[in-house]
Amino acid sequence: MTAYRIVQVDAFADRPFTGNPAAVVPLEGWLPDATMQAIAEENNLSETAFTVPCADGEADYELRWFTPTTEVALCGHATLASGHVLIEGEHVRFRTRKAGVLVVGRDGDALTLDLPETLVRRQDHARLLEALGTPAGEVFISYKGPEGTAIILLPDAAAVRACAPDMAALRGIDLMAIVTAKGDGQHDVVSRVFVPAWGVDEDPVTGSAHAALAPFWCERLGRDSFTAWQASRRGGLLECRREGERVILGGTCVTVIEGKFHL
C-alpha cells in the first residue's frame, strides 16, 4: 500500500467546526481520475482538492477539485484551503483546467483568493423558484463561466435564512443556486448556496459563489467591497472586493486533521 498525505481544513473559518471543510491531498503526480473520485467519495466532504507540482513555471501547482460525486471546474474554499496547506512565501499559484491560474496570498493572519468574476443577467426560471420555495425571488443566471450559476435575489435576510428547498427537485437543475439579500446589520450581504445537482445539498461557505456575488452586490451597493455572511448551519465570513474583472476574497483557515490516506 502507498500512503498519501491528507489535510482537512476548515476554510473561511476562525475556529474548528465553522466555515467549509475541504480535504487537501498533495501529490507528486496525478492518480487515476476514478481513484481521486473514490477518495473524494470516501472523504464525503463538499470538496477534496488534489495538487501536483507544476513543472513549467506558469504556476507552483496544478489543482483539481472533486465533490463526492463529480469533478468540478471551480471551487473557491478548497483553493483557499490548498493555499493554507502549501503556501511558503507571500503567495502560491495554482493552475486549473478551466478557471485559469488562481492565486492565494497572505494578508496578515488571513489569506486572499483571486478569482475570475462571474457576471449574471436577469432571466425567468419558474422551475428553479418553485424548487427553492421562493416565489418572490428574482433570478439572474450565467452560463458563461466554468459551470452554471444562478443568483436568486430575495426580499430580505430573513427570507434567505428561511429558505427550505426541495433538494430532489433541485437535483434535476444543473445550476449552483445562490439565494441572497442585503444583510440585516452585522454584514453587508447574506447568502446560502445549494448545489444538489453536483452532489452537495447545501454548501457551507462557497468561494466560487462569491465570484458572482461580488460584482452583483458591488453594483447594487455602489462600492467596490463589502462583507458577506454565508448563513449555513456552520456559517462563514468573507471579505469581498472587486478589482477590474477579478474578485478578491479574504478569509482565514484552520487545520483540523492531518494524516495519511492508504491505497
Active site positions, annotated: 47
**Cell, residue 131:** 424548487
- Closest residue by Cα to residue 61 from 36, 32, 27: 27
Helix axes 207-221, 76-86, angle to 10 degrees: 110
**CA end-to-end distance (rounded Å), the chain:** 5
CA distance 194 to 202: 4
Scanning 139-244, the segments in alpha helix (DSSP H) are: 157-162, 167-170, 207-221
CA distance 164 to 243: 34
Which residues make beta-bridge pairs with 9?
A: 22, 255
- Closest residue by Cα to residue 202 from 172, 238, 176: 176
Question: Is residue 245 within 8 Å of residue 211, measured between CB atoms?
Answer: no
H or E stretch including 240? strand 236-243
Matching residue, cell 439565494: 179
CB atoms < 10 A from the CB of 123, how many? 13
Question: Is residue 60 within 8 Å of residue 92, measured between CB atoms?
Answer: yes
Per DSSP, the three-state class of 136 is coil
